[in-house]
Chain A
Amino acid sequence: MKEYEDKTTTPAFAEFTEAGRAPLVSADGQIGACAGAASAVEAASRAGTTKPSKPAKQLAPGRLYRRENIAAFLMILPSVLSFSVFILAPMVFAIILSVTQFEPLTATFQFVGFDNFAKLFNPKDWQYGQEFYRCMINTVFYLIEVPIVIALGLMAAALISGSKIRYNKIFRILLYLPTVCSVVAASIIWQQIFLDDPARINRGFLNYLFGTNIKWLSDQGWVLAAIIIKNSICGMGRSMILFYASISTIPPEYYEAAELDGANGWQKFWHITFAMVTPTLFYQLIMRVSGTLQSYADSAIFASGDPDARTAVYFIWNFGINQHNYNIASAAALILGVIIMIVTVIQFRRSSKWVVQL
């Protein structure tokens, strides 16, 4: 009963549980005094996604079933239609755009095969190829931030959720606070921190503080470093809060048992905390990699479109929307999309080895 009330405190719910109509089951179906009922409902709920759900207790007549089927379909219809029109159709159209060339004179699309891709992959193509390579390399470089963000977030979350730490709420609030601010605002602020000025009049905070004159925003190596530093610090809050939420669901019994066995702090962290947050870590890894590969504001606002800081999405924006070359931009977007999908699939494949599944 208690497990039940934790999940839902709505009065309607309580009535049902009191009336005894609903079986006594935890929402996750993990633990339960009545294990049989638990597994049955769990199976039923799982089946909802994978198999046709189990038949109702009274065998429903065919007409009733058909009515339910129609109602269920009507309910998903808006989503299906919207998905088809705004995601599936653009996907198909993107593929069409990438293998054609727009003729401005006749306003038609000429099929050109893989010419657009060839232009992008040709490093000697001064118009597209060079720029594309540079953007892709920059984008891949930004991935350095992903492990840093995740490590910092995990460290902060593990430290905050330690039971002996007082004021952990304050740290939690402070660490997450910048995350609710927009990328634009963050870029503006951080640009001021990293600002460089050859005339030394408008030096940024960092240069001012150390008396240096590093060209954080115009030198190729430094601008990448600046963006990685900025994103590592800005992204930490979100990573921390996800890990914190995940750690707070670990049953304290695990730690008690480990303490009885004489485990030290590091062992407890590594064998319990870390092992239990691997699903969250995996989720973050996928989201971060995919998000970082599609970053745009960093190069557009933070680096003010500096050629050395351009990302792949900046390339797409620059050629597609700025210069109205839809075909090249679509081809580049498709390459980026395929890379993201491949990375995601690889991560899924490899995840089975280290992600703990309950």
Chain B
Amino acid sequence: MKRKTLVPETVSEAPQDIAVPVKPQRDEFEIRKRNEKIKSIIFKILVYGILIFLSALVMFPFVVMVLDSFRTFAHYSASRLNIWPDPFTWENYRRVIAEVNILHGYLNTFIIIICELPCNLFFTSMAAFSFAKLRLKHKTFWLLFLLSGMMVPGAVLTMPRYFVYSKINWIDTFLPLIVPHLFSNAGRMFFFIQFMHGVPSEIFEAAKVDGCSYFKMHLMIMLPLLLPAVAAQAIFGFMGTWNDYFAPSIYLHKEEMYTLQVLLANFFTAYKAEGSFTVVFAGATLSCLPMIVLYLILQNYFIKSMAIGAVKG
């Protein structure tokens, strides 16, 4: 609409004798401009449409899960499509906490993470410091030796590990989930080495001149500089252990030892037979909640950490 009024205005402004040859040119220009504008609007609608569609696709199951967890079972089985909880109820959450002991699952998962993660971060960063900044004989060999661990698929290690752990009575303890992860993690070490290449070696030469020991160099100089990378790895390590299902489900058979995910999977099977899906949804929501909150708080950080890892690793 606006354009129609615009065209006569510009024409009337121009002197008569020039306006005759100029006019078609201006029109052409206007049309092209308009076409471009329409094109960009269509493009924008398309882009937003795709993005909204993808977001809806991804988020839909989770929205359904959260809403269903507040519904009574009667309402849930009566109308599947009307997902809004009609009698809004906390009953499902009460049942999960009372019957399934999900708090114990949280506790067990936390115990494993707290025992394993800080120790692993410390030792992998120390090894990375040695590789990145110190002179080590046969460095290439040791590096390839450790990095070859990244090539080994976890599936191959399952059987022999399980066999040995069952012989030394480690089944039904947290030890198989903690001890192998205490000291080494090839991918994490590689990540740290990549990050350390950005730190100039001159700092450490200066520290050496000042009589600093190598261990202290790592502790006092490298670790503070490495903090963003350590934090990134801490987040991903936390997320990995929190969401891990296969290993705990193999090694833990007693109910009081279950981690959150194993607990969730097992009571899902039990309650599915009974038909109480809404309780299962409450449990699933509770299991996701800490990670979602953590992600929403640190979401900028997640992206940055990904950038460090993805671009260099």
Contact = CB atoms under 8 A, between A and B. Distances in A.
Interface in A63-87: 65, 68-69, 71-73, 75-76, 78-83, 86-87
Interface string A139-168: 000000000000010011001101011000
Contacts of B183: 78-79, 81-82
B224 interface: yes
A188 B280 contact: yes
B303 A93 contact: no
A246 B264 contact: no
Given A41-B200, A45-B197, A177 B140 contact: no
A41 B201 CA distance: 8
A301 interface: yes
Interface stretch (B2-10, B17-25, B87-95, B202-210): B202-210
Given A79-B146, A242-B310, A333-B158, A208 B58 contact: no
Contacts of B160: 89-91, 93-94, 97, 330
Given A188-B264, A321-B162, A337 B54 contact: no
A176 B302 CA distance: 10
A72 B214 contact: yes
A184 B264 contact: yes
Interface centre among B55, B292, B295, by most chain A C-beta atoms within 10 angstroms, is: B55
Contacts of A16: 200, 202-203
A81 B182 CA distance: 11
A357 interface: no
A21 B197 contact: no
A174 interface: yes
B140 A86 contact: no
Nearest to A160: B51
Contacts of A10: 224-225, 227
A110 interface: no
B62 A175 contact: no
A159 B50 contact: yes
Contacts of B43: 265
A236 interface: yes
Given A82-B182, A182-B242, A190-B61, A75 B157 contact: no
B288 interface: yes
A202 to B, nearest CB: 7
B168 to A, nearest CB: 12
B287 interface: yes
Contacts of A174: 55, 58-59
A136 to B, nearest CB: 13
A50 B138 CA distance: 10
Contacts of A193: 61, 64
Contact of A171 (B51, B143, B310): B51
Contacts of B193: 48-49
A290 interface: yes
B268 interface: yes
Contact of A91 (B123, B140, B157): B157
A301 B295 CA distance: 25
A321 B203 contact: no
B252 interface: no
Contacts of A320: 158-159, 162
B118 interface: no
A296 B77 contact: no
Interface of A: 7-8, 10, 12-13, 16, 21-23, 25, 27-28, 41, 44-46, 48-53, 56-57, 65, 68-69, 71-73, 75-76, 78-83, 86-87, 89-91, 93-94, 97, 152, 155-156, 159-160, 162, 164-165, 171-178, 180-186, 188-190, 192-193, 201-203, 205, 208-209, 233-234, 236-237, 241-242, 244-246, 248-249, 265, 279-280, 283, 290, 293-294, 296-297, 300-301, 304, 312-313, 316-317, 320-321, 326, 329-330, 333-334, 336-337, 340-341, 344
6 contacts: A91-B160, A176-B299, A184-B284, A192-B61, A316-B158, A336-B155
Interface of B: 40, 43-44, 47-48, 50-51, 54-55, 57-59, 61-62, 64-65, 68, 77, 80-81, 123-124, 126-127, 129-137, 139-140, 142-143, 145-146, 149, 151-164, 179-180, 182-184, 186, 189, 193, 197-203, 205-206, 208, 213-215, 218, 221, 224-225, 227, 239, 242-243, 245-246, 249-250, 261, 264-265, 268-269, 275, 277, 280-281, 284, 287-288, 291-292, 294-296, 299, 302-304, 306-307, 310-311, 313
Given A79-B183, A94-B157, A329-B158, 12 more contacts: A53-B135, A71-B130, A75-B215, A79-B123, A79-B127, A87-B149, A91-B160, A176-B299, A177-B295, A182-B245, A192-B61, A241-B302
- Sorted from nearest, which 3 A-B pairs have the closest CB atoms? A27-B198, A82-B183, A93-B160
